[in-house]
Chains A and B, each alone.
Chain A
Amino acid sequence: MTDMEVRDNVMEQEEGSTVIPTINRHEFTIFFDVTNGNPNGDPDMGNMPRIDPETGHGIVTDVCLKRKVRNYVEITREQGEGHRIYVTEGAVLNEQHRKAYRSLREEDVDKFKELKPKDRAEASLLTHWMCDNFYDVRTFGAVMTTKVNCGQVRGPVQFTFARSIDPIFSQETTITRQAVTQEGADKDREMGRKHIVPYGLYRMDGYVSGHLAEKTHFGPEDLELLWESLENMFEHDRSASRGQMALRKLIVFQHETKLGNAPAHKLFERISARKITDAPSRSYADYEISVNSEDLPNGVTVIER
């Protein structure tokens, strides 16, 4: 038997007759902007905003945005049932968390033993348990250590690098502090540096696979939470370095089937953003975003949120 067949068999055994609601394929695009802030520092460049050296466009990495989605879910769902976050930023403060995992009921434990740790089946059971408890494992996937290959979860949601619409200008501002860190220093203030982007509008394209969603039990509610997180992720990520960041637009292409009804790149090409002023851009009003929803391929719906 292949891995996949084993996994499917285990799912049947595990769930019995319960039907888990499924979702179809989706693509989405987000536009977010930054005003006088640093959306994503580059550790290689002394924390300057990430810039594509050849074109001058700003970059925000996939993992940077995933972090914000995780943080949003962590804050709003408070590590509740099924919404725990595997890769957390703060230490796990509450020891109670440990006991709060939804442990298997007695009969399931028996069944679990019956499975005879045939390694693959067991690994798959562990994987499913992680998916059911952790929102980020279910959404983005995770790699877990097991002897066999099933310890790897490929999540349905795929993020890409975000890129600014126009080349960005990174400005270095020098700041002073009226206090010194070390005692006995013969000075009464210190100077520091902040890198800011006066204004930048960024675009990120993403994908949601219906088939992988089915595998990790990522359902319609989870998808709704993903949209909610994208819409609000910057609202809970205020800091001195970020400046003002905001989500400006979320555009979702919803397919009628799991396999999808049109090539993703053709859908993404329907979205365009351009600067409508000549001067350097300083606000969202300097841009025009348009979505061409005429003659959409059959079975594709555009949702603008």
Chain B
Amino acid sequence: MGYGIKLHVWGDRACFTRPEMKAERVSYDVMTPSAARGILEAIHWKPAIRWVVDRIHVLNEISFDSVRRNEVESKVSAAQIKSAMNGRDAILNQIAPAERQQRMTVMLRDVAYVIEAHFEMTSSAGESDNPEKHYSIFSRRARGGQSYHQPYFGCREFPVNFSLLEDGDEIPLSYYRGNVGLDLQWMLWDLEYGEEISPKFFRATMRQGIIDVPDLYKREARL
């Protein structure tokens, strides 16, 4: 380790969709490690590194809000695009009123977290890659508000504001600081991208507003 970072992130809304409630999206109570990784990767990532989320601090009270929106049902198929590309007849448009679905999103409001994370070098690391370099790039970007793309809380309509907590900076006080323990049940840890994409879960417990995240890449979670 040694190259740990702390990133303070906040925003008006968030939706960390539970995989079992995706048609009508319902958010987890807190940010998933997978979403936290997505935020870090939006700021800096290269195939040479792998972000590992160690701890998530929940700063604000957990509260929900809901919105129902008109959405569409289907996606265009690859075969259709291919035949259109080759000049054959194909309709690629989605006609919104014909496939309208009204779907609910139960989202979090007014969220703020501190992500504690570090990265590890992967087998794709080349000769010019070393931890120092990637740590510097990340810190510089996070400090200057730079990002590859604007990070978001689960869905792109919920942007993330971020600032780097430097060594010696205090972690903002959590609403749950006096809380001895809150069982958040099984939560998505991350997706494993192998031949098939498979989800991995962990048992999340929040103590004093802090969720310790295991590195399931290294260790399969057992009860």
Contacts and interface: CB of A to CB of B under 8 A. Distances in A.
Chain B interface size, as a band, is: 35 or more
A61 B15 CA distance: 14
A207 B92 CA distance: 27
B87 A103 contact: yes
Interface stretch (A229-237, A254-262, A283-291): A254-262
Contacts of B82: 126
A149 interface: yes
Contact of B161 (A88, A103, A263): A263
B106 to A, nearest CB: 12
Given A98-B89, A101-B87, A209-B150, A43 B144 contact: no
B127 to A, nearest CB: 17
Interface string B108-152: 000000000000000010000000000000000100111111101
A63 B155 CA distance: 12
Interface of B: 12-13, 47, 65-72, 75-78, 81-82, 84-87, 89-98, 102, 104, 124, 141, 144-150, 152, 156-159, 161-163, 193, 197
A29 B157 CA distance: 14
Contacts of B13: 161
A200 B165 CA distance: 38
Interface of A: 2, 4-5, 42-44, 50, 52-54, 59, 61-63, 67, 84-92, 97-99, 101, 103-104, 109, 112, 122-123, 126, 129-130, 134, 142-147, 149, 151, 154, 156, 158-161, 205, 207, 209, 211-212, 257, 259-266
A86 B93 contact: yes
Contacts, number: 155
Contacts of A149: 193, 197
Contact of B145 (A53, A145, A154, A263): A263
A33 B51 CA distance: 43
Contacts of B76: 86, 130, 144-145
Contacts of B65: 52-54
A264 B147 CA distance: 10
A292 B68 CA distance: 36
A103 to B, nearest CB: 3
A4 B68 CA distance: 34
